[in-house]
Amino acid sequence: MGQEVWEVGIIPEKELYIRWFQLVTFLQSMQISISPWQYDSETVEITRTLVSLHTNYVAPRIISLAKETVKTGLPIIRPLWWNDPDDITAHTIGDQFLIGKQMSCHASQVELTGLPIIRPLWWNDPDSVGYACIL
């Protein structure tokens, strides 16, 4: 079994905390188990920005998608190949996901400078407004 990421009294490294917060910003719920002020003012500002982004932009989209899910059974968070199952390249990409049909998120473990984002074949569909977020 893997080592625990967090133990009582020990907080994860700042970069890991921020990356985790970036990811949960684009998921259905946010939970703060470790306070950002346990780090520094920069971390507090980053988390404030991400909470605002989640509250004002992501959460309304997720609520709308949840209503769609009730009617259709489609998942809110989808693999990159979901909208085009014949896109062979999309089947090989494990570090990107979709929020509904319109938003693609790329989870990165490296510096973000110059990082390519693979856009699915359907990206230029006139009925699909594409948004990209890099985590």
Question: Residue 106: beta bridge partners?
Answer: 96, 134
Question: Residue 78: beta bridge partners?
Answer: 98
- Helix ranges restricted to H, the chain: 14-25, 41-53, 59-72, 88-91
Mean pLDDT by 10 residues, the chain (135 residues): 56 85 86 90 91 89 93 92 86 83 68 49 48 50
* pLDDT, position 130: 47
